Structure 1
Amino acid sequence: MIRQFSIDLLPDRQVHAISQVFQAFSTLCGLVLGSEALIPVGFIRFEFLQIIGIIPTIIFIFILWKLPPTPFRIVDTMVKERLTEKKLSKSVKFYYGSEDYIDCVKSEAFGRWNIGTKSNWSELKESSNLKGLFIGTLAAISYSATADDLIDSYSNQILHADRFGRKRLIIYGLVGTGIFNILALIGDTTQWTFIEVIGFGLTKAAIGFGAGAPAWFLTSELVSPRITHLCQTISTGSLLTASGLISFIYLPLSAEIGIWSLFILAILPAFFIAAILILFLPETKDKPYGEIKWLLMNNVFSGLIEESGRHSWRKLRRESEPVIRRKTGTVTSYGTNSSINDLRVF
């Protein structure tokens, strides 16, 4: 749920970059704390790592327990739980630093979730959301086909790669991991160790460049913001389940057929999923949900639509887009436009 928490608190253009920074930072912490060469602790290594893992978790749980509900959460549940304006004011002041932004938060929340119009289940049953959930979940599962868990751990170091677009990153990353894993396979079968090492190293680079990060958050951009928390949970759960299943199968399969298990468990699935994503995954970068929904609903092969196809969607767009256009500082409020350049919250 960290992804959903970030969506509520950060501007769209900063969510992915900040997530990547913290991912890279946590990877660095794991490297430093887990290295016997940097922090030699001898025979208490296991106990030391357990403590290092438990303490931050306890601290984080305590912080979450003490934090007030996010402003969007309060507005979303105001009717159901009858939360007062006082609680909303307190939350807005805590997270944004001033109570002046209450109206902006309300406007965007009503625009994003259409509070009170549909249940989460009814929203999920819409064809565009089901299609978005399927594509996002498949994109998430694709992470398990990169062989990352079979080689090492998660890698995501290039902070500016996001500018190329989500679709390009994940597809190029998947194809890259497949090709480089083939290189490693050739190195192993020919007994050329240096080729095998280079292949696995390039696989890690492909994962860090593209196949890693988008797999974790794409679902949240392909479904209605009202049910993001539900669909993102399903997607991430599918990712972890697929990774665990592949890791479980890998050991007995590797004992039977050796390095060819990599071909069956990683290379073939990577190319297969990449082909499906090319056909069905639309580019989501810098697009409001209204445009993404139109692409999913009006095109069977929504991944083949070019950027030039945007103009047809604009004719149908009304208030399905977020009420606050974060980049332009414009508020769309029930058919009217007003500038809030002097009141940029995000």
Structure 2
Amino acid sequence: MGYSNAYPNTSIDQFKAYLNHSYTHRGGGYMSENTYSWLWSAILNVWFIGFALGSFVAIPVTDSLGRKKGLLFGNALTLISVAIMTISIIFDVFELLIVGRFISAFASGIAMCALILFLQEISPNEIRGSMGFYAELAFVVMNAVGAILGMSMFLGNHLSMLVGFAVIPSVISILALIPLHETPKFLLIKHGNEGGAKESLQFYMNLNDEEVNEQLDAISDEAEESSGTIKTLLTTPHLRKGLLLGMFALQITCSIWPIIYYSTDFLRKANIDYDLAESFSSGMLIVSTVATVIGIFATGPVAWFITSELVPISYRALAQSIALGVNQLTALVLTFIVFPLYNIIDSWSLLILYIIPGILALIYLWFNLPETKNRDIADVIEDIKNGKTSQPIKNKYEMAKISSNNTADGISDS
């Protein structure tokens, strides 16, 4: 996901030369600056359309095939898309580049949704947030790799190799996924496979028989609500609020896209030398990677996975897909207009499009988002129903204390 979006930034001049050559090769004459701007915008922004569609298709894929097979399917599609894009470079057919990026984005939408659900459902409560970190880490690391390899000193002058490099992480992902088990929650709730769920719990959490049975009971309790539909999700107040909280959290991430796509151009408009602009763009994405690694010791990349912690499992794939899809459509609109608007009102465009909406989203989250750390999702959903913003449970001893207090309260009430 990150790699294919970062290398066009630092290799922008080479792509411009490729598009000109492809355009003139078929007798179209020299490409005008206006034609180039619209074509380059289409190549970049078709990503958001594909990702949004992939996010919605991820709902039936992950709920029918499973989280693991959803990831395998997404990575297999990525291999096909990379082959199409590489062919487009070799044979100077820029239309295939657009098609390839669309398929790549579609595959990434499926894979990202499946990955978030996969990591959430194989993790015990106390490390669920930390596991979500790896989805974001993969994104920012590949951003940095793409930006660096797109520089002229590396693969920037060899576009077919630059585009084809994306095969490597996809193949590694497929090979790593093959020996893994499906998630225990999917096996038990979606397929009623208790034996498979037990094996999955032992594989991922190394639990004894008693602990496995406790986990199975907790999963069964979580699955008590009816199967989720989009109508119920949007009309039930606490479900709709969970979805809105996830969408507002993801809104804050939109500000990264102008940096990924346009930072080299922004710097050149500020009269920065091209080679230096390349280096700065790569440096910013390296800093983003370091910040993400440091973030695991604080909040982590909460925005990417918080939606799946705010709704029951029967609505999880649906809510996660809608939140990611809306996020990508929002990013499409903002990224499409930010560059022309920047030419008119300079950096004020960033204030209007990103900073003010981000602040408004943070204010809404501050007053409405319940704590999810070290808590069962059923308890988080109950807080949303009651309009509470609770404090995190710090450790297992505090959890035991709360459990004993609840038991005592139940005895006294009776």
Same fold (TM over 0.5): yes
Task: Measure, in 2, the Cα distance between the counterparts of 1:306 and 1:108.
Answer: 21
Q: Which residue of 1 aligns with 2:13?
A: none
5+ long unaligned stretches in structure 1? 154-187, 189-196, 311-324, 338-346
CA distance in 2, matches of 1:96, 1:287: 17
Measured after TM superposition, the shift of residue 274 of structure 1 is 2.2
Q: Map of 1:110-259 to 2, 5 A cutoff?
A: 110-114=220-224, 118-121=226-229, 124=233, 125-144=235-254, 147-152=255-260, 213-259=301-347
1:272 is matched with which residue? 360
Who is 1:71 aligned against?
184
Aligned 8 A contact 1:3 1:217 in 2: yes
Relative distance call for 1:75 and 1:230 in structure 2 (3 A) is same
Task: Show the counterpart of 2:14.
Answer: none
Residues 186-207 of structure 1: per-residue CA shift (max 9 Å, x gap): xx9xxxxxxxx9xxx8x979x8
Match for residue 348 of structure 2? 260
| Map of 2:277 onto structure 1 | none
Alpha-carbon distance change, 108 to 292 in structure 1, aligned in 2, over 3 angstroms: closer
Higher helix share: 2
- TM-score under structure 2 length normalisation: 0.51
- Tell me by how many angstroms 1:219 deviates: 1.3
**Residue in structure 2 matching 1:9, options 94, 99, 122:** 122
Q: How far off its partner does 1:247 sit?
A: 0.7
Distance 1:61 1:129 in 2: 34
Given that 1:120 and 1:227 are in contact with CA atoms closer than 8 Å, whether structure 2 keeps it comes out as: yes
> How far, CA to CA, are the matches of 1:279 and 1:228 in structure 2?
23
Residue 297 (structure 1) aligns with: 385
After superposition, where does 1:21-36 map in structure 2 within 5 Å?
23-24=136-137, 27-28=140-141, 30-32=143-145, 34-35=147-148
Note the C-alpha offset of 1:110.
0.4
Q: Is the 8 A contact 2:242 2:307 kept in 1?
A: yes
Cα deviation 1:132-154 (Å, max 9, x = unaligned)? 1112212212321xx3222348x
Check whether the contact 2:226–2:314 (CA below 8 A) recurs between aligned residues.
no
The change in CA–CA distance for 1:263 and 1:95 in structure 2 (over 3 A counts) is closer
TM-superposed deviation, 1:99: 7.8
**Alignment partner, residue 55 of structure 1:** 168
TM-score (norm. length: structure 1): 0.60
Residue correspondences, number: 263
Question: CA offsets per residue over residues 37-67 of structure 1, 9 Å max, x none?
Answer: 9995456542333233123224434654664
Corresponding residue SS for 1:47: helix
Alpha-carbon distance in 2 for matches of 1:326, 1:12: 14
Contact 1:137 1:235 in 2 (8 A): yes
Listed as ranges, the matches of 1:79-90 within 5 Å are 79=192, 83=193, 87-88=196-197, 90=199
RMSD of aligned C-alpha atoms? Answer: 4.3
- Conservation of the 8 A alpha-carbon contact between 2:338 and 2:353: yes
Deviation of 1:284 (Å): 2.8
Q: Distance in 1 between matches of 2:372 and 2:196?
A: 34
**Offset of 1:291 from its aligned partner?**
3.7
2-side partners of 1:37 and 1:227: how far apart? 40
- Alpha-carbon spacing, 1:24–1:143, altered in 2? closer, same or farther (3 Å): closer
Q: Provide closer, same or farther for how the CA distance between residues 48 and 326 of structure 1 changes in structure 2, counting only shifts above 3 A.
A: farther
CA distance in 2, matches of 1:211, 1:70: 24
